[in-house]
Structure 1
Amino acid sequence: MNTKTQVSLLFITVCFIWGTTWLAMELAVATIPPITATGIRFAVAAPLIILLARMKGVTIWFPKGKGLEFILISLFYFAIPFTLMIFGEQFISSGLASIIFANMPVAVLILSVFLQKQKVAIHQLLGLVIALGSLITIIGNEMSVNSHGSLIGVAALVVAVLMHALIYTNVQTRCQGIHVLTYNALPCLVAAVFLMITGYFMETPDLSSFSVLSLSAVIYLGSIAGIGGIMAYFQLNKLASPFQASICFLIFPVIALCLDSLLNGRMLSHESLFLTLFLMLGVLLTKLPEGTFRNKLSFKRS
């Protein structure tokens, strides 16, 4: 199989997995409390990731001196933000949740500019303004016309995005060279234990109330979405350029919106759907390589 075909298949796989994840989270939280559901998700994923690491001869242990990074990743990349995502879907539709999370590249760019003083091209700054303006308008519009719209759900998703972006811009730069399986294995296990214990005391889950559909959704999140999503995106980044891989952020919300419409009969308003095109344009501009256009803006340290 040639590289072009591999990239195409990996791209389709990543978009499909990321797009279906949001519906799966909505189905999971229908009968399973969010903290417990996320704990079960990681309890399914962790052994599979550890097994895969063993099969590939990859260590599951973080290097010496990376203990703080390990804790931060376990809590603020896995445990808390993933719980916030599934918690938020109790209040907003899976389609709207996916649109909010698709702004991850925008959040990363904002934090990189203000925390790391990264140079930003004019077209990236323009994309940032377009994406944020579109997102704010969509959220405001959906909260006023959609009964599923809720400030609580939106806030949960926004905080989750910011946590992921903060870890990405700060911790990941200090974890360069760590294999993707190492990065996910033990932090995922720690998150599972932490959430299962927390969920037991805070949510007192009733196992008899868990539906087969919700349990199946959680297993899907832990296995297919967990292992498949991680490895497919990792391989895609190895074979394709970062810009090509980032196009997934433009496609998976479309899949999530289509699934939400087909299975739940929910649709964003026509205005919001139109604004989604501008939002995706903004995200695309933030991910275009800096050399695409000549002019750059530099945010220098004072």
Structure 2
Amino acid sequence: MVVVSFLFMCFIFGTTFLAIKIGVDSGLPPFLSAGFRFFVSGLILFTIMVCNKKTTKRLLIQKEMLLTGGCLTFGTFSTLYWAEQYVTSGVAAVLSSTGPMMILIIQSIFLKQKGNRLSFIGCFIGMIGVSFLLFPSLTIKTSSFWLYGCLVIIIGEVFYAAGTIYTKQVMNRFQNTSPIALNAVQMMYGGILLIVLSFVTERGQFDINMNPASIGSLVYLIVFGSMIGHSLYYWLVVRTNPVFPSTWLFISPIIALLLGVIFYEEAISWLTALGALTIITGTILVNFQSIRGLDKKKLIFTRALKS
């Protein structure tokens, strides 16, 4: 059950980047559609949790939820949605996998935490991979917005990293609260912030042409991308540990690249492929010590058998 759930989660997360791209290309305002997605999915999940007495409404007034939502949902996805107007879904997925490297950088520079040598090597390799992806942007043939989009996604991963580090403190404080409920509330707050941003920056774009592509994109991202995908992630955290589910970062970008090429005719050059491989390699090295720790404790296989 654990292994099947993990593979299903990886597939879902790998498809969300293409779903976002389809929605944006079909005419959905990036910030409004992102805000609607996360607010609705968070509201549905939270309502279910309250009805099942897994949490209480008091969770809605906790300032930690606003701060978490501001980083994990608002900061990460406002940048991703905007960037996918100009960047292919596959490249967006690969750049999004740089989150662990940003966590390492923040912990080392700002929190003064010592990292192991292999992690820093992985971070350096990952940055080389990013340069491979950005290199085509420096040529005359590529629009400058491609470069801006790539850089904006990386900025979004800084928000993701900060939110992830802060979330560890939040989960320690709310140990008796379901992680799914915590995620639902932070998605609601992040969604509200995205909608507010849309009112400020996307005025005049609320007359949306709701075609099959835009409707399908929204429904898929709400149901599968947010509700099912994120619930599976936190279920795996509870059943295994915080490290194992995060290894989706090694698999989903590859799925996203292939889906973009096969179903959306996104071009992929040898330099893009090399950059993607290099970034994923760097991400694995950054997390190598944690992954190796899983083998020592035998948590994955033991609990997978019990399921």
CA distance in 1, matches of 2:77, 2:108: 25
SS at the partner of 2:94?
Answer: helix
Residue in 1 that maps onto 2:85:
90
- Taking only aligned residues, the RMSD between alpha carbons, in angstroms, comes to 2.6
Match of 1:299 in 2: none
Matched with 1:43 is 39
Please say which of residues 18-27 and 226-235 is displaced more in the overlay.
226-235
Q: How does 1:208-227 map to 2 (within 5 A)?
A: 208-227=208-227
> What is the CA distance between 1:149 and its match in structure 2?
6.2
Aligned to 1:264: 264
Q: How does 1:185-196 map to 2 (within 5 A)?
A: 185-196=184-195
Alignment of structure 1 residues 165-180 onto 2, 5 Å? 165-176=161-172, 177=175, 178-180=177-179
Q: How much does 1:286 deviate?
A: 0.7
- TM-score of the two chains, using structure 1 as the length reference: 0.85
Say which of 125, 128, 152 aligns to 2:123.
128
Aligned partners of 2:94 and 2:144: how far apart in 1? 15
**Whole-angstrom distance in 1 between the partners of 2:233 and 2:136:** 33
Partner of 2:182: 183
- Whole-angstrom distance in 1 between the partners of 2:218 and 2:262: 21
1:53 is matched with: 49
Letter in 2 for 1:115: F
- CA distance in structure 1 between the aligned counterparts of 2:268 and 2:137, rounded to whole angstroms: 7
TM-score, structure 2 normalization: 0.84
Between the two proteins, the alignment pairs up a number of residues equal to: 287
Matched, 1:140 2:141: no
Opposite residue 239 of structure 1, the aligned amino acid is R
Q: Secondary structure at the match of 2:205?
A: coil
* Residues 93 and 64 of structure 1, relative CA distance in 2, 3 Å threshold: closer
Amino acid at match of 2:187: C
Deviations 1:218-247 (A, max 9, x none): 121111111111111112223335443232
The answer to whether the 8 Å contact 1:103/1:131 transfers is: yes
- Matches of 1:162 and 1:61 in 2, distance apart? 30
Could you say if the C-alpha distance between residues 50 and 137 of structure 1 is closer, same or farther in structure 2, counting changes exceeding 3 Å?
same
For the residues of structure 2 that align with 1:241 and 1:71, how far apart are their CA atoms?
25
Is contact 1:49-1:227 (8 Å) kept?
A: yes
Is 1:107 matched up with 2:102? Answer: yes
- Tell me by how many angstroms 1:73 deviates: 1.8
- 210 and 15 in structure 1: CA distance in 2 versus 1, 3 angstrom threshold: same
> Contact 1:107 / 1:161 at 8 angstroms: preserved in 2?
yes
Does residue 1:229 correspond to 2:229, yes or no?
yes
Q: 1:269 and 1:205, CA in 2 relative to 1: closer, same or farther beyond 3 A?
A: same
Tell me if 1:70 matches 2:69: no
Greater shift after overlay, 104-113 or 147-156? 147-156
Contact 1:91 1:148 in 2 (8 A): no
Q: For the structure 1 residues 88 and 143, does the alpha-carbon distance in structure 2 shift closer, same or farther, using more than 3 Å as the test?
A: farther
**Other-structure match for 1:162:** 158
Listed one character per residue, the Cα deviations across residues 79-129 of structure 1 (whole Å, up to 9, x for unaligned) are 232121111000110010001001111111111222222221111111111
Cα distance in 2 between the residues matched to 1:16 and 1:34: 23
Counterparts of 1:252 and 1:81, CA distance in 2: 17
Tell me which amino acid in the other structure corresponds to 2:123. Answer: L
Q: Percent identity?
A: 21
Are the aligned partners of 2:137 and 2:147 in contact in 1 as well (CA < 8 Å)? no
Query: Which letter maps to 1:167?
Result: G
CA contact (8 A) 1:131 1:282 kept: yes
Structure 1 pair 83–249 and aligned structure 2 pair: CA distance change class (3 A): same
Aligned to 1:13: 8
1:279 to 2:279 alignment: yes
What do residues 162-202 of structure 1 show as CA deviations (whole Å, max 9, x unaligned)? 10111111353244224322322233223333433442453
8 Å CA contact retained: 1:10, 1:235: no
Matched, 1:199 2:198: yes
Q: Describe the shift of the 1:35–1:86 C-alpha distance in structure 2 as closer, same or farther (beyond 3 A).
A: same
Q: Rate the CA distance shift 1:142–1:243 in 2: closer, same or farther, 3 A.
A: farther
